[in-house]
Amino acid sequence: MDINSSNCKIFLEGQKAAVLLVHGITGTPSEMRYLAKAFNRAGYTILCNILPHHCSTLEELKKVTWQEIVASCSDDLKFLKEKSGKVFIAGLSMGALMAIHLAYKFSSDVSGIIALAPTIFYDGWAVHKGQALLPLVWHIPYFRNKIDIRENPPYGLKDENLRSTIHAFYSNAEIGKTSDKVVMFGSPFFPLASLYQHHQFSKVVKKEMPRVKTPILIIHAKEDDMTSIRNARYCFDRIGSPDKSLVVLEDSYHMITIDKEREKVALEAIKFLDRL
């Protein structure tokens, strides 16, 4: 058992199959820690690596491309396949799309997908309406690399205690200043460059969905502040998997792996893993 707190990578060995956990873009493995421990207690080997250019400076984060993330996650999948033989993938937000993409790309190597708050459209109730204008400028590299969107409450969290902890860091964060708390809480700013990469990747995954036949569990909050339930229904309706299910949460926002119903998320996911 090894949780590396210095770089936030999570690797836990178990007796059953392996689960690759993929955190969200601009996020950190810490957002998957509760789920990782729950899966490991249920007997599963867990790996959650830091996505390329993450958990560092804002300028470094802006360098990431969706192709780099795919390459990194593909390597992690290969590692787990060689180690355990049977591998599932569970991802949050953009990580959920990565799980679908890897199941498409390596169909014989992925035994199941857990898509947590899959994010295709940023259309939640807390998203500033002005963000709808961003596609007008994000194709221009100058603007793409200059615009950084400050994360604002509720930060994907209905849990007020956890929200206040994150707010203490996010509200005082300044562009150009680095904090080691990024490793725990993720970036206080969402670079337009990262949003653009997410958008480009989502276009790829939308085309692949009908050809994905891997069993899938989708979990999404009805009140998701960042990505409405429409995202989950879009995935459910278009995925080609004959074995698919959708769980709707009633008391959470976007960060369902750490929010008020995180225990329910873990239990539903383990039930899905165990039956496969």
66-124: pLDDT as tens digits: 999 999 999 999 999 999 999 999 999 999 999 999 999 999 999 999 999 999 999 99
Domain 2-275 matching CATH 3.40.50.1820: the answer reads yes
Span 262-269, average pLDDT: 98
Name the pTM for this structure: 0.94
Per-residue three-class SS string for the chain: CEECCCCCCEEECCCCCEEEEECCCCCCHHHHHHHHHHHHHCCCEEEECCCCCCCCCHHHHCCCCHHHHHHHHHHHHHHHHHHHCCEEEEEECHHHHHHHHHHHHCCCCCCEEEEECCCCCCCCCCCCHHHHHHHHCCCCHHHHHHCEEECCCCCCCCCHHHHHHHHHHHCCCCCCCCCCCHHHHCCCEEEHHHHHHHHHHHHHHHHHHHHCCCCEEEEEECCCCCCCCHHHHHHHHHCCCCCEEEEEECCCCCCCCCCCCHHHHHHHHHHHHHHC
pLDDT tens column, 218-232: 999 999 999 999 999
